[in-house]
Amino acid sequence: MKWRLKNRNHVRQWIEGGEKLPLATQNYPSRGQTAIQELYQTKIGKLFLKKVSQRNHQECQIHPKDGTLAEREYWAFCLASFLRLKVPELILMDSLTTVQIWFDLPDGRQYTTAQKPLELQGNNVFDCALFDWLTAQVDRHDANYLYDFVQQEIILIDSGHAFLKYSGSLPDYLRIFEAAYKNELHKKQASSLLDRIKNCSKDDLKKQVPLRNSEEKETLFARQQQLKQIDTIAGIIHLYRIG
Protein backbone atom coordinates (compact mmCIF):
# COMPACT_ATOMS: atom_id res chain seq x y z
CA MET A 1 0.00 0.00 0.00
CA LYS A 2 1.25 3.45 -0.90
CA TRP A 3 0.81 5.69 2.14
CA ARG A 4 0.06 9.38 1.75
CA LEU A 5 1.08 11.96 4.30
CA LYS A 6 -1.95 14.21 4.25
CA ASN A 7 -2.89 14.58 7.87
CA ARG A 8 -0.47 15.98 10.46
CA ASN A 9 -2.28 14.36 13.37
CA HIS A 10 -2.02 10.93 11.77
CA VAL A 11 1.68 11.46 11.06
CA ARG A 12 2.22 12.59 14.65
CA GLN A 13 0.42 9.49 15.93
CA TRP A 14 2.44 7.20 13.66
CA ILE A 15 5.67 8.73 14.90
CA GLU A 16 4.61 8.66 18.54
CA GLY A 17 3.57 5.03 18.16
CA GLY A 18 6.78 4.17 16.32
CA GLU A 19 10.34 3.69 17.43
CA LYS A 20 13.26 5.98 16.78
CA LEU A 21 16.16 4.40 14.89
CA PRO A 22 19.19 6.42 16.03
CA LEU A 23 21.63 3.83 14.74
CA ALA A 24 20.34 3.93 11.17
CA THR A 25 21.27 7.55 10.56
CA GLN A 26 24.51 7.70 12.48
CA ASN A 27 26.42 8.00 9.21
CA TYR A 28 23.74 9.97 7.43
CA PRO A 29 25.40 12.58 5.23
CA SER A 30 24.38 15.85 6.80
CA ARG A 31 26.19 19.06 6.07
CA GLY A 32 25.18 20.60 9.33
CA GLN A 33 22.21 22.46 7.93
CA THR A 34 19.59 20.46 9.74
CA ALA A 35 19.40 20.64 13.50
CA ILE A 36 17.48 17.39 14.00
CA GLN A 37 17.28 14.38 11.70
CA GLU A 38 15.40 11.37 13.04
CA LEU A 39 14.33 8.16 11.42
CA TYR A 40 11.35 6.28 12.86
CA GLN A 41 10.08 2.79 12.27
CA THR A 42 6.31 3.24 12.22
CA LYS A 43 3.30 1.16 11.33
CA ILE A 44 3.37 2.58 7.79
CA GLY A 45 7.11 2.09 7.31
CA LYS A 46 10.12 4.30 7.93
CA LEU A 47 9.45 8.03 8.35
CA PHE A 48 12.18 10.67 8.32
CA LEU A 49 11.73 13.78 10.45
CA LYS A 50 13.83 16.88 9.86
CA LYS A 51 13.78 20.00 11.96
CA VAL A 52 15.80 23.02 11.00
CA SER A 53 16.88 25.73 13.39
CA GLN A 54 16.94 29.51 13.10
CA ARG A 55 20.73 29.27 12.98
CA ASN A 56 20.54 27.06 9.87
CA HIS A 57 18.83 29.92 8.06
CA GLN A 58 21.50 32.42 9.05
CA GLU A 59 24.20 30.10 7.75
CA CYS A 60 22.40 29.82 4.43
CA GLN A 61 21.43 33.52 4.26
CA ILE A 62 17.75 32.65 4.10
CA HIS A 63 15.22 34.88 5.83
CA PRO A 64 12.72 32.60 7.60
CA LYS A 65 10.02 35.25 7.17
CA ASP A 66 10.29 34.74 3.41
CA GLY A 67 10.02 30.97 3.80
CA THR A 68 11.87 28.62 6.11
CA LEU A 69 13.97 25.75 4.75
CA ALA A 70 11.19 23.38 5.84
CA GLU A 71 8.51 25.42 4.09
CA ARG A 72 10.63 25.63 0.95
CA GLU A 73 11.11 21.87 0.97
CA TYR A 74 7.37 21.41 1.34
CA TRP A 75 6.63 23.84 -1.50
CA ALA A 76 9.15 21.99 -3.67
CA PHE A 77 7.33 18.74 -2.86
CA CYS A 78 3.94 20.30 -3.68
CA LEU A 79 5.23 21.61 -7.00
CA ALA A 80 6.89 18.28 -7.85
CA SER A 81 3.63 16.46 -7.11
CA PHE A 82 1.68 18.96 -9.18
CA LEU A 83 4.09 18.47 -12.09
CA ARG A 84 4.07 14.69 -11.48
CA LEU A 85 7.78 14.37 -10.82
CA LYS A 86 8.48 11.32 -8.64
CA VAL A 87 9.69 12.45 -5.20
CA PRO A 88 9.11 11.02 -1.72
CA GLU A 89 5.83 12.02 -0.08
CA LEU A 90 6.41 14.81 2.44
CA ILE A 91 4.36 16.84 4.91
CA LEU A 92 5.04 20.11 6.72
CA MET A 93 4.47 19.57 10.45
CA ASP A 94 5.26 23.13 11.51
CA SER A 95 7.23 25.96 9.96
CA LEU A 96 10.54 24.29 10.83
CA THR A 97 9.70 20.59 10.61
CA THR A 98 9.01 18.17 7.79
CA VAL A 99 8.31 14.45 7.78
CA GLN A 100 8.83 12.33 4.70
CA ILE A 101 8.44 8.76 3.61
CA TRP A 102 11.85 7.10 3.65
CA PHE A 103 12.84 5.54 0.33
CA ASP A 104 14.97 2.41 0.61
CA LEU A 105 17.55 3.51 -1.94
CA PRO A 106 21.17 4.64 -1.72
CA ASP A 107 21.98 8.25 -2.48
CA GLY A 108 24.31 9.26 -5.28
CA ARG A 109 27.28 9.52 -2.94
CA GLN A 110 26.77 6.09 -1.40
CA TYR A 111 26.39 4.42 -4.78
CA THR A 112 29.35 6.05 -6.49
CA THR A 113 31.59 5.62 -3.45
CA ALA A 114 30.70 1.99 -2.83
CA GLN A 115 30.01 0.73 -6.31
CA LYS A 116 30.65 2.56 -9.56
CA PRO A 117 29.73 5.64 -11.61
CA LEU A 118 26.06 6.36 -12.09
CA GLU A 119 24.39 5.14 -15.25
CA LEU A 120 21.88 7.78 -16.16
CA GLN A 121 18.98 8.17 -18.54
CA GLY A 122 18.61 11.39 -20.48
CA ASN A 123 14.87 11.78 -19.99
CA ASN A 124 15.12 11.35 -16.22
CA VAL A 125 18.08 13.74 -15.96
CA PHE A 126 16.27 16.26 -18.16
CA ASP A 127 13.17 16.19 -15.93
CA CYS A 128 15.19 16.56 -12.72
CA ALA A 129 17.23 19.39 -14.22
CA LEU A 130 14.06 21.18 -15.39
CA PHE A 131 12.72 20.99 -11.86
CA ASP A 132 15.96 22.10 -10.22
CA TRP A 133 16.22 25.06 -12.56
CA LEU A 134 12.57 26.04 -12.10
CA THR A 135 12.86 25.88 -8.32
CA ALA A 136 16.24 27.66 -8.23
CA GLN A 137 17.70 24.78 -6.27
CA VAL A 138 21.13 25.72 -4.94
CA ASP A 139 22.12 22.61 -3.00
CA ARG A 140 21.90 19.60 -5.29
CA HIS A 141 25.02 17.80 -4.11
CA ASP A 142 25.56 14.03 -4.40
CA ALA A 143 23.73 13.15 -1.18
CA ASN A 144 20.68 15.19 -2.13
CA TYR A 145 19.40 12.73 -4.67
CA LEU A 146 18.74 9.02 -4.47
CA TYR A 147 19.84 6.59 -7.12
CA ASP A 148 17.56 3.77 -8.18
CA PHE A 149 20.08 1.54 -9.88
CA VAL A 150 17.40 -0.91 -11.02
CA GLN A 151 15.61 1.73 -13.05
CA GLN A 152 18.79 3.81 -13.53
CA GLU A 153 16.96 6.87 -12.31
CA ILE A 154 17.70 9.61 -9.87
CA ILE A 155 15.10 10.84 -7.38
CA LEU A 156 15.46 14.30 -5.92
CA ILE A 157 15.38 14.67 -2.13
CA ASP A 158 16.22 17.37 0.42
CA SER A 159 15.04 20.19 -1.81
CA GLY A 160 14.81 22.82 0.93
CA HIS A 161 17.35 25.21 -0.59
CA ALA A 162 14.92 26.32 -3.25
CA PHE A 163 13.05 29.34 -4.59
CA LEU A 164 15.87 31.76 -3.83
CA LYS A 165 16.53 34.75 -6.00
CA TYR A 166 20.15 33.84 -6.69
CA SER A 167 21.41 31.00 -8.87
CA GLY A 168 23.22 27.98 -7.59
CA SER A 169 25.93 25.86 -9.11
CA LEU A 170 25.27 23.05 -11.58
CA PRO A 171 23.49 20.11 -9.89
CA ASP A 172 25.85 17.23 -9.23
CA TYR A 173 24.03 14.80 -11.55
CA LEU A 174 24.20 17.34 -14.43
CA ARG A 175 27.96 17.60 -13.95
CA ILE A 176 28.18 13.80 -14.19
CA PHE A 177 25.91 13.69 -17.23
CA GLU A 178 27.83 16.40 -19.04
CA ALA A 179 31.11 14.54 -18.58
CA ALA A 180 29.86 11.03 -19.32
CA TYR A 181 27.09 11.44 -21.89
CA LYS A 182 28.43 14.04 -24.33
CA ASN A 183 26.49 12.52 -27.23
CA GLU A 184 23.18 13.00 -25.48
CA LEU A 185 23.62 16.59 -24.37
CA HIS A 186 22.10 18.06 -27.53
CA LYS A 187 19.49 15.37 -28.04
CA LYS A 188 15.96 16.78 -28.09
CA GLN A 189 14.07 15.52 -25.07
CA ALA A 190 10.37 14.79 -25.27
CA SER A 191 9.18 15.50 -21.75
CA SER A 192 5.65 15.56 -20.44
CA LEU A 193 7.03 17.35 -17.36
CA LEU A 194 8.24 20.19 -19.59
CA ASP A 195 4.79 20.37 -21.18
CA ARG A 196 3.25 20.65 -17.75
CA ILE A 197 5.72 23.37 -16.74
CA LYS A 198 4.92 25.30 -19.92
CA ASN A 199 1.18 24.97 -19.33
CA CYS A 200 1.39 25.90 -15.67
CA SER A 201 -0.33 29.24 -15.04
CA LYS A 202 0.97 31.89 -12.65
CA ASP A 203 -1.94 31.08 -10.37
CA ASP A 204 -1.00 27.39 -10.39
CA LEU A 205 2.54 28.28 -9.41
CA LYS A 206 1.39 30.67 -6.69
CA LYS A 207 -0.93 28.02 -5.30
CA GLN A 208 1.76 25.34 -5.10
CA VAL A 209 4.54 27.72 -4.06
CA PRO A 210 3.09 30.52 -1.91
CA LEU A 211 6.27 32.60 -1.76
CA ARG A 212 6.12 35.65 0.47
CA ASN A 213 9.02 37.54 -1.06
CA SER A 214 8.06 39.34 -4.27
CA GLU A 215 11.56 39.06 -5.79
CA GLU A 216 11.58 35.30 -5.24
CA LYS A 217 8.11 35.11 -6.73
CA GLU A 218 9.25 36.99 -9.85
CA THR A 219 12.33 34.75 -10.09
CA LEU A 220 10.10 31.67 -10.18
CA PHE A 221 7.95 33.12 -12.97
CA ALA A 222 11.06 34.21 -14.91
CA ARG A 223 12.58 30.73 -14.62
CA GLN A 224 9.39 29.19 -15.93
CA GLN A 225 9.57 31.51 -18.96
CA GLN A 226 13.22 30.56 -19.58
CA LEU A 227 12.32 26.86 -19.68
CA LYS A 228 9.79 27.46 -22.45
CA GLN A 229 12.75 27.78 -24.86
CA ILE A 230 14.55 24.65 -23.63
CA ASP A 231 14.42 21.17 -25.14
CA THR A 232 17.89 19.71 -24.47
CA ILE A 233 20.02 19.02 -21.43
CA ALA A 234 22.71 21.25 -22.95
CA GLY A 235 20.08 24.03 -22.95
CA ILE A 236 19.59 23.74 -19.20
CA ILE A 237 23.34 23.63 -18.55
CA HIS A 238 23.60 26.82 -20.63
CA LEU A 239 21.05 28.50 -18.36
CA TYR A 240 23.26 27.75 -15.36
CA ARG A 241 26.33 29.08 -17.15
CA ILE A 242 24.75 32.38 -18.12
CA GLY A 243 23.34 32.70 -14.59
Partner 1 sequence: MKPPHSDRIDEFVNAMQLCIQSVISGVTWDSSKNTIEIGFNPVEKKDEKLVQIKRLLPLEEENEHRLKIKLDYFKSEACKKLTTFLLLTRMEEKNIQKLAEIDSSYAPFLSKLGLKEDVIFNVNNLKDASAFVFKLVENRKLTLRELSQKTGLTQVALSNFKLGKSDMRLSSFLKITSALGLKLKLQ
Q: Site residues (CB under 8 A) for partner 1? A: 2, 19, 21, 23-27, 41, 86, 104-106, 110-111, 114-116, 149-151, 192
Helix pair 122-134, 192-199: axis angle to 10 deg = 20
List C-alpha distances in Å: 140 to 5, 7, 18, 159, 168.
24, 29, 31, 8, 9
In 3D space, the residue among 156, 51, 45 whose CA is nearest the CA of residue 93 turns out to be 51
Question: CB-wise, 75 or 102, nearer to partner 1?
Answer: 102
Q: How far is the CB of 122 from partner 1 (least distance, A)?
A: 13
Q: How far is the CB of 43 from partner 1 (least distance, A)?
A: 10
Question: CB-wise, 3 or 240, nearer to partner 1?
Answer: 3
Q: How far is the CB of 168 from partner 1 (least distance, A)?
A: 27
Do the strands 36-42 and 19-20 form a parallel or antiparallel pair, or are they unpaired? antiparallel
List C-alpha distances in Å: 40 to 21, 84, 93, 99.
6, 27, 15, 10
Question: CB-wise, 40 or 163, nearer to partner 1?
Answer: 40
Question: CB-wise, 82 or 149, nearer to partner 1?
Answer: 149
Q: How far is the CB of 97 from partner 1 (least distance, A)?
A: 22
Beta bridge partners of 147: 154
Question: CB-wise, 58 or 151, nearer to partner 1?
Answer: 151
d(CA 225, CA 229): 8
Q: How far is the CB of 102 from partner 1 (least distance, A)?
A: 9
